[in-house]
């Protein structure tokens, strides 16, 4: 059986973010034998919707979009770690999704929310967008400040590690089902 490659996306680019800590924790509890790579949207640095053609055409001309497309295509699945900003998810994540098209179709994507209220609103909205782009949307657990992590991003003992492992299992099952179709 081949090793599955899963990208764990840090979807916040704020200087005071804790998303990098959450993503590192999520990556650290991946099942043995899974290749995991943390993808920081702050480092990806996509311009805001500047391709001359719609993403649905697949005619990417900017080096940044081509590199983003190739990177997403290199993964068998993703886990997106998402905070909640004013009852929604970060614009940089929406831009990262909207910059591509065919790359999302059929891609298994798990979602782990974090923040006050476990980012339930952001995770719900993100799920609607993932469904629209025809990804295989797999809702995961949320981490709440004060219960599962500190506002500084330190993961607490109560954090739902088993639920995140279960999400990985769902993502990997979806990957295997996609490969056998």
Domains of the chain: 10-179 (3.40.50.360)
Strands (E), the chain: 5-10, 35-40, 77-83, 108-115, 136-144
β-sheet bridge partners, residue 80: 9, 111
pLDDT grade for 62, boundaries at 50, 70 and 90 = very high
96/181: higher pLDDT: 96
Q: Do residues 84 and 116 touch, judged by C-beta distance below 8 A?
A: yes
What percentage of residues in the chain have a pLDDT greater than 90? 94
Using 50, 70 and 90 to split pLDDT, how confident is the model at 178?
Answer: confident
pTM: 0.95
* Closest by CA position to 75, among listed 177, 162, 171, 180: 171
- The structure tokens listed for 57 are 């055409």
Given a cut of 60, is residue 1 above it in pLDDT?
no
Summary mean pLDDT of the chain: 96
pLDDT at 126: 98
Question: What's the average model confidence in pLDDT over 71-90?
Answer: 97
Query: pLDDT for 124-152, tens place per residue?
Result: 999 999 999 999 999 999 999 999 999 99
């Amino acid at each position: 059986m081949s090793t599955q490659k899963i990208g764990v996306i840090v979807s916040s680019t704020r200087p005071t973010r804790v998303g990098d800590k959450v993503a590192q924790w999520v990556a650290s509890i991946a099942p043995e034998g899974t290749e995991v790579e943390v993808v920081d949207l702050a480092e990806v640095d996509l311009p805001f919707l500047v391709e001359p053609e719609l993403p649905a055409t697949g005619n990417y001309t900017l080096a940044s979009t081509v590199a983003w497309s190739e990177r997403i295509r290199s993964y068998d699945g993703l886990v997106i770690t998402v905070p909640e900003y004013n009852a929604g998810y970060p614009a940089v994540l929406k831009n990262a999704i909207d910059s591509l098209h065919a790359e999302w179709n059929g891609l298994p994507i798990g979602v782990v929310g974090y923040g006050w209220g476990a980012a339930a609103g952001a995770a719900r909205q993100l799920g609607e967008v993932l469904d629209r782009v025809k990804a295989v949307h797999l809702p995961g657990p949320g981490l709440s400040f004060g219960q599962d992590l500190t506002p500084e991003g330190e993961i607490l003992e109560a954090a739902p590690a088993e639920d995140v492992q279960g999400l990985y299992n769902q993502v990997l099952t979806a990957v295997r089902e996609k490969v056998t179709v």
